[in-house]
Amino acid sequence: MGITSAFIAAKYENVTSPDLEEFSKITGGIFQKSDILDMEGKILLSLDFNLTVASPLTFFDRYARLVE
């Protein structure tokens, strides 16, 4: 679950999606890409896809991008 959590965090924080192949290689081949994707789905479903609480900063960031 740890490698999948890192994969989700990287997708959330980075501008571009991380390479799933690299995350599979980090585990020494113990987990295949399909294993990581399956666990990602389970984690996100258990969280109801709620990764962030809306805050004033979230709205300001979105507004700032719109007015650029």
Tell me what pLDDT residue 58 has. 81
Task: Read off the pLDDT of residues 10-67 as tens digits, 9 standing for 90 and up.
Answer: 888 887 878 999 999 999 989 999 999 999 999 999 999 988 777 888 888 889 999 8
Domain extents for the chain? 2-67
The set of long-range contacts for 32-36, using a CB threshold of 8 Å and a minimum separation of 24, is 36/3, 36/4, 36/7
Residue 17's pLDDT is what? 79
* 3-class SS string, 1-29: CHHHHHHHHHHHHCCCCCCHHHHHHHCCC
Q: What pLDDT shows up at residue 25? A: 92
Is 4 in contact with 40 (CB distance < 8 Å)? yes
Specify the CATH architecture of the domain 2-67: Orthogonal Bundle (1.10)
Whether the CB-CB separation of 18 and 10 falls below 8 Å is answered with yes
